[in-house]
Amino acid sequence: MSTPATPASFPRPVADGKFFRVGEQKFYPKGVAYGPLPPASGREPFASPEQTARDFELIRQLGANLLRVYHPPPPWFLDLAAASQLRLLIGIPWNKHLCFLESPAAQAQARQAVRRAVADAAAHPAVFAYCVVNELPPDIVRWSGRRAVEDFLDELVDVAKNADPGCLCTFANYPPTEFLQPSNLDFFCFNVFLHQPRAFENYLARLQMMAGSKPLLLGEIGLDSLREGEAQKCEKLAWQIELAFRGGLAGVVVYSFTDEWYKDGRDVPDWNFGLTTRQRQPKDSFAVVQQKFQAAPRFPLPQCPRISVVVACYNAARTLKPCLDSLTRLNYPDYEVLVVDDGSTDTTPQIVSQYKDFRGIRQEHSGLSAARNAGIAASSGEIIAFTDADCRADEDWLYYLAGDLMQGSFAGVGGHNLPPQDDSPIAAAVMASPGGPAHVMLTDRMAEHIPGCNMAFHKWALAEIGCFDPMFDKAGDDVDLCWRLQQRGWQIGFSPGGFVWHCRRSTVAAYLEQQRGYGEAEAMLARRHPEYFNSFGGSVWQGRIYGAAGPGLAVRRPVIYRGMFATGLFQSLYCAAPAGWPLVMTSLEYHMLVNLPLLALSVPFHWFRPLAAASLGLSCAVCVAAAAQARLPRHQVRWWSRPLVALLFFLQPIERGWARYRGRLRLGPASPRSLETFDSLSLQAGVRELSQAQYWSAAGVDRLEFLARVIARLEQRGWPFRVDAGWGDFDVEIFGSRWVSLQLATVAEPHPGGKQMLRCRLRSAWPLASRVAFFALLGLELVVIGWLRGGRPWVWLLLLTLPVFPWWLRRETRALLRMISALLDQVAAGSALSKIPPPAGRDSVEP
């Protein structure tokens, strides 16, 4: 017998993002199921050591590196596996076919079985992981309840880790109980027997969404040679293995090595799933699996277009070096890295200069979008991939992104951004708090949004929409880009295997600063894409947000489709969309319009105090409930973790909401230069004459050209304005001060002989500042009335001053109308247009 491998030469595997790692190298399980076999001696369902050694030699020829066994193996089996460089996924049997949660004795037997199996093999170099149970009967699960079964499985994992703290644990699930999702698993393991490529591929995409940030291993795939035929078995195993690895799965286990199968104390002669016969003669499927295992995990891509990786950075010296180091190790044949330094004042330029194979670009500080556009302009690739300076790319990042982008009909594709496992507990709490970078999925394959730290696009798609909008200088550029691509009818995909490690903010102050930047970006996005925002300026997503902190609270229990009598082959968990209305009570608007007025009124009016306390208490209760539902990494949970998450749920909407409103209020008053008197200003004109104008052209003037001249004149004179993004019923909104604005709409009427009538209409509007000021004034007067009301009934007369504010706004609007009307007259005169008075009748007439 061979000498057993030592732990130093055969280190223990760990879960690393979506994959496994052994030391510095990735480990992709390429396995076969082995046994149960007729016992050679005793009661253990294993062959003799001599037969096992011969089997292991064949398994090594197959190219496998993992065996899945369904019973704890004896010590000699472990040693022989290690000597053969094979790792073991060890199944632990117990009476799963009984209603085990009804019997304390059955539960104790299960715990004891797990404890003994793990203790007997603890820290052995051949152990890959333990499977605490295989395929629970769906009717047993229905009887006991989903949550209770999940809790018991989590308990069994705890038992295993107490016996061997460094071990990996899973349980082998399958479609009839796919709704089971214990939280303590190190990786997801699924037995999947689907024999159509499209159904198989779609189901893997679904499982990847369920697995989230954890590795996904196919615990059993295979076909019966007796019923399906060996030719069909060869064909289907070939595409199953390839699709699994192309889909970003961590590995596969083929069921099984040999046709010999021993179950329930007897041989099973008519079930031929093996790659070899009972006499260990390799079948044709053996050669097929051997070929696929040799090619796995990185099957050749149909094509490998050149990829340009753009890293935009600003004062990123703390995290830039690990990021660039990771980009030197990418497993992709043709890529370049462009590092755009956006005017950093720290040692970022010196760090970039150390990487001679990368192209460094330095520009004046212009913002994130401008830096990314500079990288696009300098790129030579057909695909442009983006990551951030505080990220580390997995070595197969580009392989998976390019594969999914080239195979699907996508304009772009993104992937997971996972927190590093060595992140601090504060960073873990930040990750579980609202507002972090997360992907938003419309389906299991198609995304509505992918975070900017991990995304790739066809260069032609970026050019078609004009790349990134430079107005987004801190954040929001990725959201705007995704929405603009989708508005063109293109789709964005998601690649589970293409992930990066993304450092979260490690302090509360840094997190809140990030949220302020997101709030400012939301204000700009709301002007550009109002259809994605509610009346308060909060974003409304069409898809499902995948992150540790969801967009709302789960207030409805999930529903499981079980099929008739719990016999459904695919028993799925359907979760109701998280309810967003409870989080309204944590919003800035709720605090400003409800909590603060109630607190103010509770001082003079004591009967408001219970209502104010109840309202503030509800806001705090929602934060506590959200923190209780947030998903925190188990190894980073401290006693203060969830209280901190609750605090961040309270602070984040205030910081982000205030920044959002500040961004919406950012358009200040017109400059003194813009308020100069125009020569054509008519001080005697009425509101109707000022708000509507008609200009006649004998030769015809393009309406869009006229608008371009108006915009140029506004820019020249320093008028603040915004152009309609396509969702309003106006062309340009012009701000005369912080309190009033006018919305200009134009229409062109063609007339015979190439003549044209151009109509202009100006409508007044109350900007956000005016609305906020009016309600603030109302609230202030109510508070003053409350303070002074005792014995002073006249104090209610204060409310009569409220109309003064609208009167003043109307006066300001009339002055602005005069100014803009004069400006339009000047532009019209410069465009050879003649102004005519509004017609007395309904129809336009030629002058």
How does pLDDT run across 141-194, given as a tens digit for each residue?
Answer: 989 999 999 999 999 999 999 999 999 999 999 999 998 999 899 999 999 999
pLDDT for position 458 = 96
Is 454 in the same domain as 565?
no
Q: Among residues 639, 664, 689, which one ends one of the domains?
A: 664
pLDDT for position 690 = 64
Which residue is associated with the tokens 């099973």? Answer: 268
pLDDT for position 716 = 77
Is 168 in the same domain as 225?
yes
Q: What band does 553 get if pLDDT is binned at 50, 70 and 90?
A: low
Q: What band does 333 get if pLDDT is binned at 50, 70 and 90?
A: very high
Here the CATH number for the domain that contains residue 326 is 3.90.550.10
Which H helix or E strand runs over 439? Answer: strand 439-441
Which H helix or E strand runs over 454? Answer: strand 454-458
Residues 398-406, mean pLDDT to the nearest whole number:
94
Is 97 in the same domain as 180?
yes
pLDDT for position 738 = 62
Residues 664-673, mean pLDDT to the nearest whole number:
52
Token pair, residue 518, equals 């997101």
CA separation for the pair 434, 550 (Å, rounded) = 7
Q: Name residues whose C-beta falls within 8 Å of residue 182's C-beta, 6 or more positions apart in sequence.
A: 150, 151, 153, 154, 157, 171
Is 105 in the same domain as 37?
yes
pLDDT for position 254 = 97
Q: Can you point out the beta strands (E) in 112-250?
A: 127-134, 169-173, 188-191, 216-221
User: Is pLDDT of 685 > 50?
Assistant: no
* Contact status, residue 57 vs residue 71, Cβ threshold 8 Å: no
Is 445 in the same domain as 532?
yes
Q: What is the DSSP letter of 214?
A: S
* Contact status, residue 55 vs residue 282, Cβ threshold 8 Å: no
pLDDT for position 645 = 87
CB atoms within 10 A of CB 171: 26
Angle at CA of residue 576, ends 575 and 582, nearest 5°: 130
Strand partners, 384: 308, 457
Is 170 in the same domain as 211?
yes
Q: What band does 728 get if pLDDT is binned at 50, 70 and 90?
A: confident
Q: What is the dihedral of CA 97, 98, 99, 100, to 10 degrees?
A: -100
Query: Which one is predicted more confidently, 559 or 706?
Result: 706
User: Is pLDDT of 29 > 70?
Assistant: yes
Residue 302 lies in a domain: no
Mean model confidence pLDDT for the chain: 85
pLDDT, tens only, 221-245: 999 998 999 999 999 999 999 999 9
Highest mean pLDDT among 470-479, 554-563, 767-776, 787-796 belongs to 470-479
Is 374 in the same domain as 501?
yes
Q: What band does 637 get if pLDDT is binned at 50, 70 and 90?
A: confident
End-to-end CA distance of the chain: 109
Is 422 in the same domain as 491?
yes
State the amino acid at position 81 in one-letter form.
A
Angle at CA of residue 740, ends 662 and 745, nearest 5°: 105
User: Is pLDDT of 773 > 80?
Assistant: no
Is 609 in the same domain as 490?
no
User: Is pLDDT of 57 > 50?
Assistant: yes
Candidate from 179-183, 195-199, 667-671 with smallest mean pLDDT? 667-671
Residue 845 lies in a domain: no
CA separation for the pair 522, 533 (Å, rounded) = 9
CA separation for the pair 781, 834 (Å, rounded) = 50
Which H helix or E strand runs over 836? Answer: strand 834-836
pLDDT for position 391 = 93
Angle at CA of residue 381, ends 378 and 382, nearest 5°: 125
Q: Can you point out the beta strands (E) in 78-142?
A: 87-91, 127-134
Here the CATH number for the domain that contains residue 89 is 3.20.20.80
Candidate from 271-275, 616-620, 623-627, 801-805 with smallest mean pLDDT? 801-805
Residue 380 lies in a domain: yes
pLDDT for position 503 = 85
> Which value, in Å, is the radius of gyration of the alpha carbons in the chain?
34
pLDDT for position 674 = 45
Angle at CA of residue 490, ends 485 and 494, nearest 5°: 90
Q: What band does 251 get if pLDDT is binned at 50, 70 and 90?
A: very high
User: Is pLDDT of 279 > 80?
Assistant: yes
Is 87 in the same domain as 231?
yes
CB atoms within 10 A of CB 300: 8
Model's pTM, two decimal places?
A: 0.81
Residue 814 Rama label (left phi>0; alpha psi -120 to 50; beta): alpha
* Contact status, residue 731 vs residue 746, Cβ threshold 8 Å: yes
CA-nearest of 489, 407, 485, 493 to 455 is 493
Residue 6 lies in a domain: no
Which H helix or E strand runs over 393? Answer: strand 391-393
3 state DSSP class of 82: helix
Residues 391-408, mean pLDDT to the nearest whole number:
92
CA-nearest of 125, 167, 129 to 4 is 125
pLDDT for position 800 = 67
Q: What band does 307 get if pLDDT is binned at 50, 70 and 90?
A: very high
Token pair, residue 624, equals 């506590």
CB atoms within 10 A of CB 267: 12
CA separation for the pair 514, 52 (Å, rounded) = 58
Structural domain span for residue 402: 307-546
Residues 569-582, mean pLDDT to the nearest whole number:
67
Q: Among residues 603, 633, 664, which one ends one of the domains?
A: 664
pLDDT for position 3 = 45
User: Is pLDDT of 4 > 60?
Assistant: no
pLDDT, tens only, 405-459: 988 789 999 999 888 877 778 888 888 888 777 888 888 889 999 999 999 999 9
Q: How many domains does the chain have?
A: 4
Is 652 in the same domain as 678?
no
Q: Among residues 607, 642, 664, which one ends one of the domains?
A: 664
Residue 846 lies in a domain: no
CA separation for the pair 836, 825 (Å, rounded) = 11
Q: What band does 537 get if pLDDT is binned at 50, 70 and 90?
A: low
Q: What band does 350 get if pLDDT is binned at 50, 70 and 90?
A: very high
Residue 34 lies in a domain: yes
Residue 529 lies in a domain: yes
CA separation for the pair 445, 592 (Å, rounded) = 40
User: Is pLDDT of 625 > 60?
Assistant: yes
Residue 767 lies in a domain: yes
Is 355 in the same domain as 486?
yes
Query: Which one is predicted more confidently, 818 or 567?
Result: 818
CA-nearest of 433, 357, 382 to 647 is 433
